[in-house]
Chain A
Amino acid sequence: MDQILFALLNGTIYGLLLFMVSAGLTLIFGMMGVLNFAHASFYMLGAYFAYTLQPLTGFWLAIILAPILVMGVGILVERFILRHVHEHGHAHELLVTFGLSVVIAEMIKMVYGKFAVDYRVPAELNFAAFSLSGIDYPFYRLFMGGIAVVMFIAIYLLLTKTRVGIVVRSAIYRPQMVEALGHNVPMVFMGVFGIGAALAGLAGAVAGAFYTTNPNMALELGVMVFVVVVVGGLGSMGGAMAASLLIGITNSLAVGSDFRIADILTWIGMGGWADEVGGLLTMRMSSLAATLPFFIMLLVLVLRPSGLMGEKE
């Protein structure tokens, strides 16, 4: 029971982290129609920036400065690259960001090497928050979850309660009209892109210390974020939230499970056959955990192609 509780908690926090990155992606997509393939690269940049800054400024300042730097990178990308290719259409923008993700990953490899760097949770945060039946629960996980929750509340309030939020939301809906009313829409786009990047950067700066910080982290998380977005439906914050939590929780439940498909088949008397066939049928759930989100995605595609909360195309 305690184990399931831990798994649920871990899954929720991983889900919140996924949401932190996919929220920015969804926000940018909703506004500009651009699927930013390099979004997960911003996550990685956040982690590496924080790792670099940490010895100079200490952990706290590092996780504040790193997202700001990532925001700067994001703004430069939007202003000088994306805006340049905007006239060629959305597919082209997607390709350019795809190219950027390659360039960023290769640069990271050049500067920091191909292997994981030693970016760790600082000692003052590395303690147990509580313990259940003798197992300590790291405080840092709660810290990550807390930051994610605070971020969402802040963004939600910003979008719904402020003048800036009104302009942003209307720029998503009717950009020409907003421009006609005298608002600088390209500037708004740039800001949203920067904030989306900063969110991903913050997620990276915080999570990089807990998980590993390596040049593959962008791809690994990026694929998960895309799965989240397909499952949840692009442009829908609620969908992204639901899908992130769903995938986070199933993932962490599966890691701790010994279940095999052959076990089901044993009930109907085909266990022997399944053991003979081997392959997928006898693989433990724990080793399949990494692939589970993909199967969820396939299921959603068959049952509800537009995603859990997505609108019809």
Chain B
Amino acid sequence: MKYAPLLLLVTVAVLIALPWLVSGSMLNAAVQMLISALFAMAFGLLCGQAGMLSFGHAAYFGVGAFAAVHAMNAFGGEGLLPTPLLPLVGGASGLVSGLLAGYFSTKRTGVYFAMITLALAELLHALAPHLKTVFGGEAGVSSFRMPAWGIGFGSLNDVYFLTLVWTLVSIGLLYLFSKTPLGRLALGLRENAHRLRFLGYNTHALGTLIFAISAMFAGIAGALQSMNIEAANYVVLESHISTAVVLNSFIGGVRVFLGPAIGGAVMTFFGHVSSDLTRVWLLYQGIIFVLVMMFLPRGIVGELVERIRNPSGEGLARTISTLLARLASLAIAAFGAVFLIEFLQRVLSPEYRAGVTEGNWPDIALFSYDWAPLSVLPWAFGLGLFGFGIALVIMVNRRVAARKEAQA
């Protein structure tokens, strides 16, 4: 991994140059990607480093978002702090709510912890609509970014740089945190809490503290989100936000430092790109997650890092050709599966069903062809590609296994 610092430097340079490289809509997506990357990193601290699986992280994200909006509106719109410092408010409120929620949830460990975090998030979500002064009811709370420090914060570029700086600084702080004694203790908590207790550490206080720090960074991400859209609605407390961060982080890989960030950014990017193409992106996200959990338990980034650290000993050319063969066969299977799902989605969509009259099923356009839903063709096409791809994957796997056997 001697190239890691260089790679990091290039990534940061590209991120800084991004506003001049891509269109406005893409830049907007980039802001979202940065926010989900930071949110996923906050989750990764709790889940990857300290081994505490939270299913309710949307709560702290949402608390940060609302705190930032209220701070923006404070003093008749003057703002509690200059605009660039507003995420601090989100972070502080995340920290406080994290201390409170962490106190309760870290009373238990393991699966209980996961269930309690979910229940706490649902509690906040159930309460929010009733507390109109704080959460603004159906309409939510909206606000404006005030100019500060000679920057207007009106344009997307300004918002992008604000988000970028905060995300990079926060991730940097998270990295430094992981090197502190407290950060090391988080690993201890994950690996063997009994032993920590035996050594005289107060594991409940430790867990609460780490929970609160994770919630603080989630709060910063939430603040950036509400500053970006200049509003907050109690939708940010909904469970699908918590779900998304769990899926993204694990798809990336929670045990490697930047895994969650990359997972969050990449999945948000695909979500953004595919929102015009498919209505069932969440289904794909769920399927990808289950597949990653089954076949790449370390996550995609985690698996890559592992492969680079411990090469298979087959030589670079072999490794790359195996990888390419696997990817190609997977792509065929994925194309078949996507075709089937999209076709099914279109057949089942209410608009299509409304168009069906007595035994007359109109053709469906998909991938620039018209397919008759009652004929065997589209189903056979999708299933065939899927089966063919899977067969290829199995074949490649068998070959690799046979080669390993021959070596041994």
- Residues of chain A touching chain B, judged by Cβ–Cβ distance below 8 Å, are 29, 35, 81, 84-85, 88, 90-92, 94-96, 98-100, 102-103, 106-107, 109-111, 113, 219, 223, 226-227, 229-230, 234, 278-280, 283, 287-288, 290-291, 294-295, 297-298, 301-302, 305, 313
Contact = CB atoms under 8 A, between A and B. Distances in A.
A223 B56 CA distance: 11
Given A103-B287, A230-B115, A96 B294 contact: yes
Report which residue of B123, B239, B250, B345 has the largest number of chain A beta carbons within 10 angstroms of its beta carbon: B123
Contact of A226 (B119, B131, B134, B246): B119
Report which residue of B110, B119, B341 has the largest number of chain A beta carbons within 10 angstroms of its beta carbon: B119
Contact of B114 (A92, A94, A100): A94
A85 B122 contact: no
Contact of B55 (A88, A91, A98, A294): A98
B104 A302 contact: yes
A301 B126 CA distance: 20
A287 B128 CA distance: 12
A85 B293 CA distance: 8
B114 A35 contact: yes
Nearest to B239: A219
A283 B239 CA distance: 24
- Which 4 A-B pairs give the minimum distances between C-beta atoms? A102-B286, A106-B283, A226-B115, A294-B123
A297 to B, nearest CB: 6
Contact of A94 (B111, B126, B133): B111
Given A103-B283, A279-B133, A291-B126, A81 B290 contact: yes
A223 B294 contact: no
Contacts of B348: 110-111
A111 B290 CA distance: 20
A35 B116 CA distance: 13
B293 A99 contact: yes
25 contacts: A35-B115, A85-B293, A90-B111, A92-B293, A92-B297, A94-B111, A98-B55, A102-B243, A102-B247, A106-B280, A109-B280, A110-B280, A110-B283, A110-B344, A110-B348, A226-B115, A226-B118, A227-B119, A230-B108, A278-B133, A279-B133, A279-B134, A280-B127, A295-B123, A301-B104
A106 B126 contact: no
A288 B247 contact: no
Contact of B285 (A88, A102, A298, A313): A102
Contacts of A280: 127, 131
B127 A291 contact: yes
